[in-house]
Amino acid sequence: MRLLGPALLGVLFGAALGAAATCGYQSCPVTKPDMLNVHLIPHTHDDVGWLKTVDQYFFGDSVIPQLLADPSKRFIYVEVTFFARWWGLQTESMRQAVRQLVDEGRLEFVNGGWCMNDEAAVHYSAVIDQMTLGLHFLQETFGECGRPRVAWHIDPFGHSREQASLFAQMGYDGFFLGRIDYQDKLQRETLREMEQLWRGSGSLSPPVADLFTGVLPNGYNPPMALCWDQICSDNPIVDDDSEENNVESIVAYFLGTATAQVRASVMGHAKNYRTNHIVMTMGSDFQYENALLWYKNLDKLIKHVNAKQVSGSHVNVLYSTPSCYLWELNKANISWTVKYDDFFPYADGPHQFWTGYFTSRPALKRYERLSNNFLQVCNQLEALTGTQANTGPYGNANSSVLRQAMGVAQHHDAVSGTAKQHVTNDYAKQLSAGWDACQDCHESLLSQVIPVSSFTRAVRHHRGDAINELVFQASAPPLGYRTYSISRLAGRDPARFKVLKMLRDQPGTEHLSWSIENQHLRVLFDPRTGLLKQIENLDKNISLPVSQNFFWYNASTGNAVNEQASGAYIFRPNTSEPFLIAKGANLNHVKTEVVQEVYQNFSDWCSQVVRLYAGQPYVELEWTVGPIPIRDGLGKEIISRFETNLQTDGIFYTDSNGREILERRRNYRTTWNLSQTEPVAGNYYPVNSRIYIKDQKVQLTVLTDRSQGGSSIFDGSLELMVHRRLLHDDARGVGEPLLEPGDYHNGLVVRGRHLILLDTAESSAEQHRLWAQQEYMAPQLVLAPGGGPPYHPDQDNLKEYTALNHALPSNVHLLTLAQREPNSILIRLEHQFERGESVNGSMPAVINLQNLFSSFNVISLQEMSLAANQKREEMKRLIWQSSEGASSGAAEEQPSPASLDPTQITLQPMEIRTFLAQIQHQARSRRGV
């Protein structure tokens, strides 16, 4: 329903002109210090998929007139992807009206990313990018008043510590959550720890990564019976003199609901919360399409509840926003306890662990990770060439399509794998269009042609008929490329080596070598089973018995105890004991100078290549799983499990969004006394890049090529869930079983890699950091038909280029190099190590940014907040007192030095520093080698 046309909006705006604009905390409504203040927060939660596009969802058309008509009304908006599309369709008078509302704090942006990202399956680099994209739009459109003060993740299914750290570094003053584990929540309510300071980093000096974090009382929904959207069915407030007048009963109910949270002894202070302010989220999924209904009822509620104050009520209701609520908490100047761990895994009941989505849709999860890698390459090419040079050796690179597609893919129903199949297809399509817009950029020894394995032939069906593959060792210089020319040599038979077939338990094969090795590692197989038996680190003289096999958990379909079925979100195995896919594997064996491989065939839908490349310090396990059979009527969740004799005492380690490492302990939570009701699912954690176990001496690390769920279900073991196919919906909203059809509609086949590192416990960190980094920032391979002269060994066939004048220190990574405007470039440098993690790696690093890049000169440099929407020296976050004393609250915010010396940029462990550089492109030069 439209109340006002754009013309009328223009008139209203005209009338409002002249009033001094105040946004931010200064624009917050007045509260009553001697009462319980109930902050009503009108909001909508808009999941970023295609289900509701801008064509179907126009919150603005309906909300803006309501806000314009009444200065007391407030509204918050969160997902910039929706807002940007809506904004693009508005008239100038509507835009002016919206700007006015933003300037007066009546329309407030919270969070402000392109989407509200998932926290379990995302990589920190993609989170930073998607937040930067959304916040940049708000800054360009609204200036400082468009800058969100508050982070708002009311729907993600569990919360990572890294997310808190990133938000703190982006300058947010507070963070609100909707979903935490039900046992955790109960304890927090009892202890009044619904609000705390969260210390997001073990390395960054407090309070850099400290973030005030509040758990909302009712997810993000209104109190029961008080939902007044057009899609709700609760009774509206009737306050005329008709028979249906229900004011008394609704007011009484509301006061009851509010004061149920008030302690009789401390009147005015909430029972579960610590101040005389509480918050109520008045809205939910895709609401406020007809804002009049909501606001009309809220107006009446406020009027009639506050009218009771004259007769002694101590409840004061008001329109508010999350930042105004936060502001009151801050003004209360009380001391808050500190949280150090994270909010994984999330359970909303004893058999409802949301740990399945850590793995759901493994192919999309991999594609998202690859796309992140490609986006960085695309950004770099664009930045290095500048706008004027859209052609040439680098080709065309337009990163904006992929950047937006990646922004969408971070959404908590996208990369999480919890969207419907056709929505998922659309996410993939958007990414693919992004690749196309970047695709024109070009890059491009010892080699060996080896036969394409029968496994590969089986997977690809008729999409290609190559019988051999070329393997050679390639590398690219940092921020550069190296070209390799490939041509056919006449008269050379590629298959000059033997492929050994080894059937397990076959007499007569004992004499065959059941091992592969390179300079650093030896991998032994058990001749009886064909399984991995032992890994040896030859450099360190470590040998560890390791067996590895694939298993499936039988998905529960619900039972008498609880009807919960395993589904896209939830992992619930029928029993804790998984089933073997096969007792062993038949092996093929290929040994060349470049690579040694063992092909393990477990079944017609599960196989693996165990691979050692010359010179590499890891064992590569390339697994191929699917189509998962379901003819037996059983949903299956496939794991790769490693078993060792390491004494691990229930402890294992997983990364947080690819960055810092968190210790996990089986059947244990750091902050409450866990009653474990799901011995497998309740011990699963997100693994974004690595998981490891160790004892005093030895550490076994598995690096992943995408996000997966992982655990250590018994001492000495490690497992990763690689794929799942389920026959039932888990009743959390997706409304479909997780039955990915794959290309041939018989079930999805997924291939991925696990890299295994075996090292001493003390020197492992360096290895796994560097290789995890390699894994997510692998050089891009671009194939182009060659037209050059045929290969000649004496000829200089290797062409390479690097945009760096000198190498970065080995503990520093160039996280971002992206063009912001012509001649303005966004640069992020990160220290890759945690404090105390590595003797050399954890040292501070110093970089000279002035002459780092060969293709442009840095004219001036401005340090920015992490999402680059605020100057670093203007970042002034609210100060909070903590139970830890001065370490968090009163400590200084580490302002950057008054004058930044671009020749001496220092990075402390885990620090990311963000710069906007004005640059001047140099004439392009190439350095041949």
Q: Is 155 a catalytic residue?
A: yes
Stretch that binds ligand NAG, among 287-295, 553-561, 718-726, 916-924 (CB under 6 A): 553-561
> What does 601 bind: Zn ion, ligand NAG, none (CB cut-off 5 to 8 Å by kind)?
ligand NAG
- Tell the residue number behind the tokens 């007499």, with chain if given: 507
Nearer to ligand NAG, 455 or 692 (CB): 455
Quick one: CA dihedral 497, 502, 507, 510, positive or negative?
A: positive
Q: Which does 155 bind (CB under 5 to 8 A by kind): Zn ion, ligand NAG, none?
A: Zn ion
Q: Are 153 and 162 in contact (CB under 8 A)?
A: no
Tokens encoding 542: 């470590």
User: Applying CB under 6 A, which of residues 233, 541, 696, 925 lies at the interface with ligand NAG?
Assistant: 541
**Closer CB to ligand NAG, residue 420 or residue 442?**
442
Output 282 or 401, the one with its CB closest to ligand NAG. Answer: 401
Site for ligand NAG in 510-529 (CB under 6 A): none
- With CA atoms as reference, report the closest residue to 920 among 363, 383, 257: 383
Phi/psi for 304 (5° steps) reads: -80, -35
Using rule CB under 6 A, residue 824 touches ligand NAG: no
Is 430 among the residues that bind ligand NAG (CB under 6 A)? no
Report if residue 454 touches ligand NAG, rule: CB under 6 A.
Answer: yes
Binding range to ligand NAG, per CB under 6 A, among 84-92, 103-111, 440-448, 556-564 = 556-564
Burial of 788 (0-12, 13-18, 19+ CB in 10 A): exposed
705 binds Zn ion (CB under 5 A): no
**Over the range 454-484, which residues count as b (16 or more CB within 10 Å of their CB) and which as e?**
ebbeebeeeeeeeeeeebeeeebbebbbbbb
Q: State the Cα–Cα distance between residues 521 and 784, nearest whole angstrom.
A: 35
Segment (H or E) for 114: none
CA-based Rg of the chain, rounded to a whole angstrom?
A: 29
Q: Which two tokens stand for residue 22?
A: 């105040």
Whole-angstrom distance, CA of residue 580 vs CA of residue 638: 10
Which candidate, 906, 873, 883, 923, places its Cα nearest to that of 199? 883
Please, which residue, 343 or 880, has the CB nearer to ligand NAG? 880
Shortest distance (Å) from residue 78 CB to ligand NAG: 24
* Residue in 743, 723, 722, 747 with CA at minimum distance from that of residue 629: 747
Is residue 559 close enough to count as binding ligand NAG by CB under 6 A?
Answer: yes
Q: Which of 205, 547, 554, 671 binds ligand NAG (CB under 6 A)?
A: 554
Catalytic residue among 61, 103, 155, 173: 155
Binding to ligand NAG in span 834-853, by CB under 6 A: none
Give the chain's count of helices (H) and strands (E): 15, 41
- Counting contacts by CB under 5 A, is residue 382 touching Zn ion? no
Question: Could you tell which of ligand NAG, Zn ion, none binds residue 425, using a CB distance below 5 to 8 A set by kind?
Answer: none
Distance between CA atoms of 194 and 17, rounded to whole angstroms? 41
CB of 562 to ligand NAG, least distance (A): 8
Taking CB under 6 A as the criterion, the residue among 603, 795, 810, 840 binding ligand NAG is 603
CB atoms within 10 A of CB 264: 7
d(CA 676, CA 840) in angstroms, rounded, equals 40
Asked whether position 763 contacts ligand NAG by CB under 6 A, the answer is: no
d(CA 383, CA 821): 9
- In the list 367, 455, 484, 776, the residue contacting ligand NAG (rule: CB under 6 A) is 455
Which of the ranges 151-159, 571-579, 665-673, 814-822 carries the binding residues for Zn ion, by CB under 5 A? 151-159
Contacts of 919 (CB under 8 A, 6+ apart): 823, 824, 825, 853, 856, 857, 858, 859
Kindly write out the interface string for residues 400-439 of this chain, putting x where it contacts Zn ion by CB under 5 A and - elsewhere: ----------------------------------------
DSSP state at residue 541: T
Report if residue 883 touches ligand NAG, rule: CB under 6 A. no
How many residues sit close enough to ligand NAG to count as binding (CB under 6 A)? 18
User: Minimum distance from CB of 362 to ligand NAG (Å)?
Assistant: 21
Please report the DSSP string for 47-97 in residue order.
Answer: --SSSS-TTT--HHHHHHHHHHH-TT--EEE--HHHHHHHHHT--HHHHHH
Q: Does 327 bind ligand NAG (CB under 6 A)?
A: no
Shortest reach from residue 577's CB to ligand NAG, in Å: 9
End-to-end C-alpha distance for the chain, whole angstroms: 67
For residue 345, whether the previous peptide bond is cis, meaning omega lies within 30 degrees of 0, is yes
Q: Which stretch binds Zn ion (CB under 5 A): 40-48, 370-378, 553-561, 774-782?
A: 40-48
Position 333 contacts ligand NAG (CB under 6 A): yes
Residue nearest to Zn ion (CB): 155
**CB nearer ligand NAG, residue 662 or residue 721:** 721
Q: Report the interhelical angle of 124-142 vs 161-169 (nearest 10°).
A: 30
47 binds, among Zn ion, ligand NAG, none (CB under 5 to 8 A by kind): Zn ion
Output the six-digit token pair for 638: 């496939």
Part in contact with ligand NAG (CB under 6 A); list of ranges 312-320, 531-539, 596-604, 790-798: 596-604
Pick from 9, 23, 47, 654: which binds Zn ion (CB under 5 A)? 47
Task: Give the contact letters, 380-409, x = binds to ligand NAG (CB under 6 A), - = no.
Answer: ------------------x-xx--------
49 vs 60, which CB is nearer to Zn ion?
49
* Residue 240, helix vs strand vs coil: coil
Examine residue 119 and tell whether it contacts Zn ion (CB under 5 A): no
Partner in contact with 541, chosen from ligand NAG, Zn ion, none, beta carbon below 5 to 8 Å by kind: ligand NAG
Rounded-to-integer distance, Cα 638 and Cα 732, Å: 22
Contacts to Zn ion from residues 152-191, by CB under 5 A: 155
Q: How far is the CB of 163 from ligand NAG (least distance, A)?
A: 29
Nearer to ligand NAG, 403 or 813 (CB): 403
Only one of the segments 98-106, 217-225, 450-458, 907-915 lies at the binding site for ligand NAG (rule: CB under 6 A); that segment is 450-458
Q: How far apart are CA 444 and CA 375, in angstroms?
A: 17
Q: Which of 295/327 has CB closer to ligand NAG? A: 327
124-142 helix and 92-103 helix, angle to the nearest 10 degrees = 110
Rounded to whole angstroms, the Cα distance separating 750 from 364 reads: 10
> What angle in degrees, to the nearest 10, is found between the helix axes of 362-385 and 400-409?
150
Closest separation between CB of residue 46 and Zn ion, Å?
Answer: 8
Interaction between residue 79 and Zn ion (CB under 5 A): no
User: Taking the mean position of all CA atoms in its chain, how far away is CA 751?
Assistant: 21
CA torsion angle 300 305 309 311 (round to 10):
100
* Residues catalogued as catalytic: 155
The residue ranges that bind Zn ion (CB under 5 A) are 47, 155
The residues binding ligand NAG (CB under 6 A) are: 333, 398, 400-401, 437, 454-455, 458, 541, 554, 556-557, 559, 574, 601, 603-604, 634
